[in-house]
Structure 1
Amino acid sequence: MASDLPVIDLSLLPSTFAEKQNLSDLEGNNELKKLREACQELGFFHVVNHGVDKALIEKMDCASRDMFSLPEEVKKRAIFPIPSAGYSPPTLGADGKDSMPESMHFPGQSVLPNSLDQICTKLWPHGNHQFREIAHTYNSHMMSLSQRIIQLIMFGLGLDVSKYYKSDLFSSFIDGYVRMNYYLNRKDEKESQNGYKTSMAHTDIGILTILYQDDIGGLQIRTKEGSWINVKPMKKSFVVNLGDCLQMWSNCRYRSAEHRVVYGGLKQKQDRLSVAFFYIFEEKAEIKAPEELINEENPKKYNVAKFGDIIERYVQLGPKLGGSNYFLI
């Protein structure tokens, strides 16, 4: 079943928040209402008029494709011994299920300092200043956009944005990183008969994810009822989804949804590209729901947890379960 995600027009919402700004200041604002409902129901939405220049997005698309077009032996120079860092070759699951795309991870400063420079040096020993500059600029814009979105999310929860956004948790323990994904449309004996592959269904464990995807499509979201819906690509937009940490921090007011990508197939002739920016906490950050979100009707759902422990449980339990489940009360 195909679905149009809620579309949030950021030009109709505040770009900054005054001290102790009240929710009544935006009473009747349709965009805020749509944002709140999207966070509660799907955990996914499009954002438009986001302020990221179209030319930069196009450059990032081209730079990503050029990088993936490098010879395999060159890309493998950027394989790192730590998880979610550097190059990961594509993997194919039985009958095409639980496959993983070819990807390049550029971890944040708290995991691998100066990862962009380190990876670029391995791929291009003589330098590739253009790629570095594009990737660095894109990462910077994604961090700024994430910071704006999280403030809107806080405001939609009825919280004092100035209090929580400036708290130690969101001012001292924030990180972010880019992952480029390339979904090859190649027929393989292990694939299902129709040629489709399905990436491993999972939730994102961070705060939120901002996704650029081309117009090929394939992204699917699992609804609260358990069915899978297809997300239609939308030009000039980013897809935003909430992660496990935000579900925990919001005391389950907002939702981290399971999702996957179905790609390839006989009718699809092109490969699929996406670029995801993950807005996350540093490993030592402690996730604890604000007292304002806990009451008799909404009792405390999670024990206090460090992000590093959530990652550890995520690895142990598997991405279909998510690392946050272990910390449910």
Structure 2
Amino acid sequence: MSSKKPDTTTIPIVDLGQLGEGVPTVDNLAQGLVMAVGGPALKRWSDNSFSRCLGVAGGPSEDELQRVAKELGAALTGVGFAYLKNHGIPSQQVEAVFSSASKFFSLGKETKLKYEKGPSQRHGYVAVDREKLDASAKFLELRETFNVKDMSYPLPDEEVPEMRMALETFRASCWALVSNVLTAIAIAIDLERDFFTSTQEELFKSGGESLALLRMAYYPTVPATVPPNTIRCGAHTDYGTITLLFQDDMGGLQVRDVEGRWVDATPIPGTIVVNAGDLLQFWTGGKYVATEHRVIIPEEEVRRQSPRQSIAFFVDPNAETLVRPLDGSNTYQPITAKQHLLNRIRMTYTY
């Protein structure tokens, strides 16, 4: 949409404006629709969410849609990351997930291991240093996670009963935001507006073939003595289409720019971080950039002695979607979304 050279060193703030207004903000509405997973109520809600992106009555104006598309497109073709402002997801929903996750991660090791993710599974608890995101695998990664594939899989309902409700409402709001973002990034590169959303409809089908994942991450306090090759999260790119990232205020996330320099993605209150994943880069022949990022151990003692939390909503196409460069080039070889995910997972987990 623009011939201006993209900024590859600064993570911009994109104000979603009217697109953020299309995200449901009433908790019980979102809850009721998610409880109807796969049913007519959910389909009506999803269709309505998509229609808000398309400039119909009650939705954003065409000028507003084009503005957001241009800004978001510039960010993802540049540094590959952006902060989303006025995104429409209530802070109470984010805080509720953070709170329930903190309660879970504070449980004893044996209790957490009851929910451990197996080698062939995507859902469940992952203990410290079981997931090696840095390709060299030389770092000790101080991080534990709980991955949520969908709400039909086991959750710690006995130990943290509030987690299920918090996740249900939060996931609904995330999907509404995702549909808006995917529509905008399609417009930015002159694709059909539903090109990306049409590949993701399995996202909310319980037990379906969606590869999307919600990850609650917990970075424990740093021991007084740690080996020099210790990090909170090793350098990596995300695997899918896009990722929504919710940070607490502890910081530590860094993004590698095209010059190889690490740029701090300092938390900005009220914003969400969005970034492109591998498959979006493949689809667009490298136009949208899946940027390497990591989470470092802070130098300040006060932050080393404070845990860090984040929530990532990983958006992937339906499992059998064949991803190939849309420009007809052979820059990337065709691959299904599922096969790419399996390839990356095999390189990541230690079992």
TM-score (norm 2): 0.74
> How far did 1:69 drift?
1.1
Instruction: Tell me, yes or no, if the aligned pair for 1:219 and 1:230 is still in contact at 8 Å.
Output: yes
Distance 1:233 1:307 in 2: 30
Cα-to-partner distance string for 1:78-133 (whole Å, 9 max, x where unaligned): 0132344211111299999351401111124xxxx712xx1225xx2xx7542210
Cα-to-partner distance string for 1:171-220 (whole Å, 9 max, x where unaligned): 35654221111111221644229xx6342111111111111110100001
Paired amino acid for 2:105: F
Count of aligned pairs between the two proteins: 292
SS in 2 for 1:38: helix
Distance 1:16 1:80 in 2: 36
Distance 1:188 1:282 in 2: 44
Q: How does 1:90-239 map to 2 (within 5 A)?
A: 90-91=128-129, 97-108=139-150, 114-115=152-153, 118-121=154-157, 124=158, 128-162=160-194, 164-165=195-196, 167=198, 169-172=199-202, 174-187=210-223, 189-192=225-228, 197-239=231-273
Task: Indicate which of 286, 298, 303 corresponds to 2:333.
Answer: 303
> How far did 1:318 drift?
5.6
> Partner residue of 2:4?
none
> How far did 1:302 drift?
2.0
RMSD: 3.0
> How far did 1:47 drift?
0.5
> Partner residue of 2:309?
273
Structure 1: runs of 5 or more not aligned: 20-24, 320-329
Is the counterpart of residue 257 in structure 1 residue 291 in structure 2?
yes
Instruction: Tell me, yes or no, if the aligned pair for 1:186 and 1:264 is still in contact at 8 Å.
Output: no
Instruction: Tell me, yes or no, if the aligned pair for 2:77 and 2:287 is still in contact at 8 Å.
Output: yes
Instruction: Tell me, yes or no, if the aligned pair for 2:243 and 2:277 is still in contact at 8 Å.
Output: yes
Paired amino acid for 1:35: L
Paired amino acid for 1:252: G
Task: Indicate which of 1, 5, 13 corresponds to 2:11.
Answer: 5
Relative distance call for 1:318 and 1:31 in structure 2 (3 A) is same
Structure 2: runs of 5 or more not aligned: 1-8, 23-51, 57-61, 203-208
Q: How does 1:3-152 map to 2 (within 5 A)?
A: 5-13=11-19, 15-17=52-54, 26=63, 30-81=67-118, 82-91=120-129, 97-108=139-150, 114-115=152-153, 118-121=154-157, 124=158, 128-152=160-184
Distance 1:315 1:151 in 2: 28
> How far did 1:266 drift?
5.0
Instruction: Tell me, yes or no, if the aligned pair for 1:206 and 1:243 is still in contact at 8 Å.
Output: yes
> How far did 1:265 drift?
4.3
Paired amino acid for 1:237: T
> Partner residue of 1:284?
320
> Partner residue of 1:242?
276
> How far did 1:151 drift?
0.7
> How far did 1:300 drift?
3.9
Paired amino acid for 1:280: D
- What is the percentage of aligned positions where both structures have the same residue? 24
> Partner residue of 2:46?
none
SS in 1 for 2:163: helix
